[in-house]
Amino acid sequence: MKLTPYGGIDEIGGNCFLFEAENANVLFDFGRSFKNEGIYYAGFLLPRTSQGLTDFLEFNIIPKINGLYADDFDVNFPGDRKRIQGCFLSHAHMDHYGNINLLSEDIPVYMGETAKIILTSVQETSRPRFGRPYIRPPSEKRPSNVRTFRTGDTIQISGLTITPVHVDHSIPGAYAFILEDRKEDLVIGYSGDVRLHGWRQDLTADFIRIAKEKGVQILLMEGTNIDEDFDQNEPQVQQDVSESIQNTKGLAIANYTLRDIDRFRSFYIAAVENSRKLLINLKQAHLLKLLQRDINLDIPSIDDPSIEVYQRPKGRYYRWEQEIIQDPEIHIINDPGFEHQKYIFHCDFWNLTDLIDIQPKNATYFYSHGDPFSEEGIIDYNRMMEWVKAFKFDFRQFHASGHAPRKDLQHIVEEIAPEILIPIHSENPEKYKEIVDIPLILPSRGHSINLSQ
């Protein structure tokens, strides 16, 4: 068994791991690498999509593998065409799924049912790169590119067994994988993105237990927060927000990630506890409506009396927006003069201009993200703080990361106790040496390692 990491090494995200066994090749995640893209492109200097993959391949932003890309991109590299029997998606974050719409039509993409719902909402409410969908509907000529799984399923591919196991992360439907090569008697674990401090830490506990039972020998383990020690957890975020709203006279404004359904739940509970309503935007309403099909998620329903939807004024609405606005189950607010003291208003960075219409007084602004770290992130943050100053908001920051802190990473690895650890999805992978006494392999991007004993 050979492993070649094409992304997710010395960076947070951009995961792309190719496993080559005797009779099968599989890819784990195919995400966009914001780090590698950002070295060459930003702002108005963007890779041209009119030139196919040229502007991405020039700087090795995406890997040069024959057989990986859709035929109409018409790219050819030295060497034989590789047959990849499946791409396994851990969860619906861009740094894991962002390039799956470039894949060859012959490569099925395996993902959790929830991830499929989220990506359906993403592609219906925004335009994917190259205008190519992530989820291709079946046509007369070929089936859909997507095959879904749930925890408890196993997928057999020419001598390989892949077992997806749910984990807790800042988006629903996140999975880790256990890959078994029966011929070589080799068991490999892949954490995806993981934490133990969300509303559903029991899911990650299941992964730890199943990885132990299966005897994972080599563990590819994320290390986003390998350098961080914190105790914030999601239930604490909910309590802090709720307490703080008790002292808010006017509007409570919540800036949180649209697809972080755990955080949505925290603000929803805070709304109910304070006899307020959570006022979400059309995009989040679209996602919630689709997610309701997933009975295992148990999320508040779109017609819940504590949820209403804000229709920002504009000239023309997309069809998906019109469908939400006209949905009889959904309570729409289109007058910015609503009773501010009765609402928590979800307002992310891109919707700040809504506040010009709403003109909140005595409002509290809940910034529910981590501190910015990228250059652009810091510029955006400073700009947002100017809005906070101009409107004289009371500013609060409550957040719990989507990723486990150092002590939990240590716990997960020590419990699974692999023979070899391969740190991924981290800017400081070598720091694992400080917390676990397990031999590390620190691979480099594009270089293969032999995993056979």
Q: Does 13 bind Zn ion (CB under 5 A)?
A: yes
Number of residues this chain uses to bind Zn ion (CB under 5 A): 4
List 187's β-bridge partners, or say none: 180
Question: In angstroms, what is the minimal distance from the CB of 425 to Zn ion?
Answer: 6
Q: Is 437 exposed, middle or buried (0-12, 13-18, 19+ CB in 10 A)?
A: exposed
Q: Does 403 bind Zn ion (CB under 5 A)?
A: no
- Of 206, 202, 282, 208, give the one whose Cα is nearest residue 234: 202
Question: In angstroms, what is the minimal distance from the CB of 166 to Zn ion?
Answer: 14
Token pair for 303: 């017609």
- Compute CA distances 178 → 8, 66, 87, 214, whole Å: 18, 26, 14, 8
CA 214, 215, 220, 224 dihedral sign is: positive
> Which lies closer to Zn ion via its Cβ, residue 57 or residue 89?
89
* Angle subtended by helix axes 113-125 and 282-291, to nearest 10: 150
> Regarding beta strands 364-367 and 252-255, do their DSSP bridges make them parallel or antiparallel, or are they unpaired?
parallel
Question: In angstroms, what is the minimal distance from the CB of 193 to Zn ion?
Answer: 4
Asked if 36 and 18 touch (Cβ cutoff 8 Å), the reply is: no
Span near Zn ion by CB under 5 A; candidates 9-17, 292-300, 321-329, 430-438: 9-17
| Binders in 343-372 for Zn ion, by CB under 5 A | none
Question: In angstroms, what is the minimal distance from the CB of 180 to Zn ion?
Answer: 24
Write the single-letter amino acid at 161: T
| Binders in 78-107 for Zn ion, by CB under 5 A | 93, 95
Q: Does 262 bind Zn ion (CB under 5 A)?
A: no
Site string for Zn ion, 24-63 (x = CB under 5 A): ----------------------------------------
> Which lies closer to Zn ion via its Cβ, residue 93 or residue 277?
93
Give dist(CA 284, CA 319) in Å, integer: 15
Question: In angstroms, what is the minimal distance from the CB of 114 to Zn ion?
Answer: 13
Task: State the CB neighbour count (10 A cutoff) for residue 357.
Answer: 12
> Which lies closer to Zn ion via its Cβ, residue 53 or residue 404?
404
Give dist(CA 32, CA 407) in Å, integer: 28
| Binders in 189-218 for Zn ion, by CB under 5 A | 193
Span near Zn ion by CB under 5 A; candidates 50-58, 158-166, 186-194, 211-219: 186-194
| Binders in 282-321 for Zn ion, by CB under 5 A | none
> Which lies closer to Zn ion via its Cβ, residue 240 or residue 260?
260
Sheet-wide strand order for 364-367? 332-333, 307-310, 277-281, 343-346, 252-255, 364-367, 394-397
List 2's β-bridge partners, or say none: 20, 450
Question: In angstroms, what is the minimal distance from the CB of 33 to Zn ion?
Answer: 11
Question: In angstroms, what is the minimal distance from the CB of 104 to Zn ion?
Answer: 24
> Which lies closer to Zn ion via its Cβ, residue 193 or residue 240?
193
Question: In angstroms, what is the minimal distance from the CB of 73 to Zn ion?
Answer: 25
Dihedral pair phi/psi, residue 181, rounded to 5°: -105, 100
> Which lies closer to Zn ion via its Cβ, residue 86 or residue 172?
172
Question: In angstroms, what is the minimal distance from the CB of 257 to Zn ion?
Answer: 11
Per DSSP (E only), the strands in 168-217 are: 174-181, 186-190
Which positions touch Zn ion (CB under 5 A)?
13, 93, 95, 193
